[in-house]
Amino acid sequence: MSTNQQTDTRFPPSPEDRLYAIVEQGMCIGCGLCESLAGSDVVQMQVVESGFERPVAVGPLTHESVDAIYDTCPGTRVEGLPDNGAVQAGSSFDLVWGPYEQFVEAWAADPAIRHEGSTGGVLTALGQFLVDAGEVDFILHARAGGSDPTFGQPHVSTTSADVREGAGSRYGPTAVLQTVHAQLDKGRPFAFIGKPCDISALRALARRDARVNALVKYFLTPVCGGFAAPSATEAFIENHHGVQKADIERFRYRGFGCPGPTTFETRDGVQHSASYTDYWGEDEKSWNVPWRCKICPDGIGEGADVAAADNWPGGSPDPETEADDPGTNAVIVRTKAGAGLIQRAIDAGYLSTGATLNADHMSKVQPHQVKKKQAARARWDGMAREGRTVPRTHGLRLDALREPLSDEVYAMQRDGAAARVAAGKATEARPKPKR
Per-residue confidence (pLDDT) for residue 79, from 0 to 100? 87
Query: Which distant-in-sequence residues (6+ apart) come within 8 Å of 311 by Cβ?
Result: 105, 119, 120, 328, 329, 330, 365
In a domain, 60, yes or no: no
pTM of the model: 0.94
Give the pLDDT confidence score for residue 11 in this predicted structure: 60
Q: Which tops the pLDDT comparison, 168 or 188?
A: 188
pLDDT tens for 263-298 read 999 999 999 999 888 898 766 666 789 999 999 999
Instruction: Give the E-state strand segments of 123-196 in sequence order.
Output: 138-144, 152-157, 190-193
In a domain, 67, yes or no: no
pLDDT at residue 8 is higher than 60: no
Q: Domain of residue 174: give its range.
A: 79-435
The pLDDT of 149-162, averaged and rounded, is 96
In a domain, 4, yes or no: no
Instruction: Give domain status of residue 223, yes or no.
Output: yes
Q: What angle do CA 279, 285, 289 make, to 5 degrees?
A: 65
Residue 235 lies in a domain: yes
In a domain, 312, yes or no: yes
Q: How far apart are CA 124 and CA 166, in angstroms?
A: 8
Whole-number Å distance between alpha carbons of 295 and 283: 17
**pLDDT tens-place string over residues 37-95:** 999 999 999 999 999 999 999 999 999 999 999 999 999 999 899 886 666 667 899 99
Phi, psi of 280 (to 5 degrees): -90, -25
pLDDT for the residue numbered 324: 87
* Domains identified in the chain, total number: 1
CB contact at 8 A, 191 and 130: yes
pLDDT bin (cut points 50, 70, 90) of residue 321 is confident
pLDDT band at 210 (very low <50, low <70, confident <90, very high): very high
Residue 90 lies in a domain: yes
- The Cα 105–Cα 116 span in angstroms is 18
Say if 219 falls within a structural domain.
Answer: yes
